[in-house]
Structure 1
Amino acid sequence: MPRDSSTTPLLSEAPFAPELRSALADADAIDGFGTDVDATLAWAVAVGAVRGAERSLGEDWSLLAAVARRDVAAARILEPHLDALTILEQARRDGAAVDLSSIADGPDSSWGVFAAEGAGMRLEARADAGGWRLDGTKPWCSLAQHVSHALVTAWVGDERRLFAVALQAPGVRPRSGPWFARGLSHVVSAPVDFTSVPAVPVGEPGWYLRRPGFAAGGIGVAACWWGAALPLRDALLDAARRDGADQLSRLHLGRVDTALWAARLALQSAAREMDGIDAASEGPAFPGTLAARVRAVVADAVERTLAEAARALGPLPLVADEAHARRVADLELYLRQHHGERDVARIGVDISEGRGAW
């Protein structure tokens, strides 16, 4: 009897811990999983509380893929919360004294990670007698009206530094838009204005971008893209099995299957290569190049899946199947976190400058 891939790891050979199997079962019982932001976020907090400390990257990425297979928006909600918890763990392992008591962090805290920059917007951090404070505007702050806390990058002179903030603090003003997106319509990513907001530094200036775990976090997003594409492969498989299915239906399925299979191998290989990197000497010499390669491979596979599904299935599921239509719209927007040719060009820069050789 085949295993139920909805509750077994998709990228790791190790079985999910019982707590995570239970959490996935809880997700299946939530009415509005992914669309009810508050209920999904509360579930994400519970997942973060039971996720084991001794876990592998393959296990983490398998979890994200399994959630994205259920609902793209749910993975978009879970991923930054788990990423923030991982970043805080890494900072403490690296010797940073991260005391979050002053911003009322607790077991029910929900987290975002706001690290994007935007033209005409700048968030600055300044030290005063009472600690650190943030002033300015941060763009692309996902779910800022819902999460209780965030890790935010801010400028300290010419360097960026990571800070933890409570988003209910006086002086924090999340904007409601602009957000006209048809995909991920409930996962609003809009600017947040900060006025003299107390903040706790997490790591030294530049640590957030230099840390080895930065690359792993980027691949975690790619695992979400990959898991989100699997139901589209399932739809192509159903179409290829129908009575009267022609060779073209099998061609579309074969193209998608091979692309997603290759992307799965890339994710698995990266997990094996990067596991243990925080332990110092182990891991790839240039994790950023590895992460960029994996993201490019996965993004290409998912782009192909979207295109082949559109050709093979036609317009009917996009207008008559709410779950399919929402998945396509959500995934198309989520995938824009990959910057296409610009990200691939950076790989070329790395290779031409002697980084990331095979």
Structure 2
Amino acid sequence: MTVDRPAAESGTHALVRRWLDSGRLDVPLPGSGATAQRWHRLMNLAEEDLGAGRLAEAHTDAAAILHELGEKPPNPHELWGVWAAESSTLRLVAKAVSDNVFRLDGTKPWCSGASLCTHALVTAEIESGQRALFAVALDAPTVTALPSVWSNIGLASTDTRAVQFTATRAVHVGAAGGYLERAGFWHGAIGVAACWLGGAHAVARPLYRYAVERAEDPHLLAHLGAVDATLAGADAMLSVAAAQVDADPFDRTDTARLLARRTRAVIEHAVEEVITRTGRAMGPEPLCHDNLHAQRVADLVIYVRQSHAERDLADLGRLCRPRR
């Protein structure tokens, strides 16, 4: 890959590498009977560092996708991304070269770990107009991470930017449309929410400390009580969702989408409560003088916007409404 390299030497990259090399990213597959263990590991990693957790989640999702679609897993020491975002102005197309080999041309937006990942699963448009999934080695000189236009400190450490492909060799993974039609697509969506929840726990941590120092402040205690309750509820929802995925790993009941929408909505609400109530309870001091807390809040504000807000809630409403 052609790229300016400073981001690749970031603390976030080093941390993800340590997790990868130490085996902390070797998590059970969704629906394997240990989904709760998988999601709690992702939550704990994100609580340690949300930017690194974002990259870790993508790597574990890539491994799960490859397994579900019958492909071999990532090799040791490879760090994979999943680049599936679409844009109204940028287009990536794939043309067949041989049975399973394609050529990618165009630009992919929102590529997290652009200069950090060694490989990526990338969606592109094929001749039929469908989206298909491809595995790409990112060390090819035909892959170029474009200059970053990121303007926010939130998740800046993930090095998310557009990547240009020019006659890049790519291997087709699964059937056309298979990426979106998998039960695992919705399991992966809950994995993202597990990371949001880990970030929320990290943002809430100073509020618990403040409550020790300001034990007689009724307003702070009220905010803490609300935060504690909403986090406990989100934790419970994640555990319930894990049990349901393990009970129906192939989505025979056709409820995976409903479960994902519901779980993400509960966790997104918890995130918003935590951000709002910690700010109201503690005031500007930790946001202005505590670099770690300020970074965690900024990271979480950006990450949770991976939700589509009211659009996702409307989809949940359609899925949960009674049928006539």
TM-score (norm 1): 0.81
Counterpart Cα distance in 2 of 1:88 and 1:50: 14
Aligned to 1:123: 92
> Superposition pairs for residues 149-188 of structure 1, below 5 Å?
149-156=119-126, 157-188=128-159
Deviations 1:4-61 (A, max 9, x none): xxxxxxxxxxxxxxxxxxxxxxxxxxxxxx9513312312432367445666110111
Q: Take 1:91 and 1:58, find their aligned partners in 2: how far apart are those partners?
A: 22
- Residue 239 of structure 2 corresponds to residue 285 of structure 1: no
Aligned to 1:65: 43
Equivalent of 1:87 in 26, 50, 65: 65
Match of 1:325 in 2: 294
Match of 2:110 among 137, 140, 143: 140
- Taking only aligned residues, the RMSD between alpha carbons, in angstroms, comes to 2.2
Deviation at 1:233, TM superposition (A): 2.7
| Cα distance in structure 2, aligned partners of 1:145 and 1:208 | 24
Change (3 A) 1:243 1:315: closer
Which AA in structure 2 matches 1:135? D
Note the C-alpha offset of 1:352. Answer: 4.9
Amino acid at match of 1:212: A
Mapped partners of 2:173, 2:118: distance in 1: 17
TM-score by length of 2: 0.89
> CA offsets per residue over residues 171-212 of structure 1, 9 Å max, x none?
111113211121112112111111111111111011110110
> What is the CA–CA distance in structure 2 between the aligned matches of 1:228 and 1:99, rounded to whole Å?
31
User: Secondary structure in 2 aligned to 1:146?
Assistant: coil
CA contact (8 A) 1:49 1:107 kept: no
- Tell me by how many angstroms 1:264 deviates: 1.1
Q: Is the 8 A contact 1:35 1:73 kept in 2?
A: no
Which residue does the alignment assign to 1:266?
237
Question: Match of 1:275, SS?
Answer: helix
Cα 1:243–1:177 change in 2 (3 A) is closer
Unaligned runs of 5+ in 2: 1-8
Which one of the candidate residues 156, 160, 169 is aligned to 1:189? 160
Secondary structure of the structure 2 residue equivalent to 1:186: helix
Identity rate, percent: 40
Q: CA deviation at 1:316?
A: 0.6
Partner of 1:203: 174
Q: Which contiguous aligned blocks of 4+ residues in structure 1 show a shift greater than 6 angstroms? A: none
| 8 Å CA contact 2:33, 2:246 repeated in 1 | no
1:344 Cα shift?
Answer: 0.5
Alpha-carbon offset, residue 170 of structure 1: 2.8
**1:231 CA displacement:** 2.8
CA distance in 2, matches of 1:268, 1:154: 34
> Any unmatched runs of 5+ in structure 1?
1-33, 93-97
Alpha-carbon distance in structure 1 between the residues aligned to 2:215 and 2:319: 49
Matched-pair contact (CA < 8 Å) for 1:112–1:151? yes
1:40 to 2:15 alignment: yes
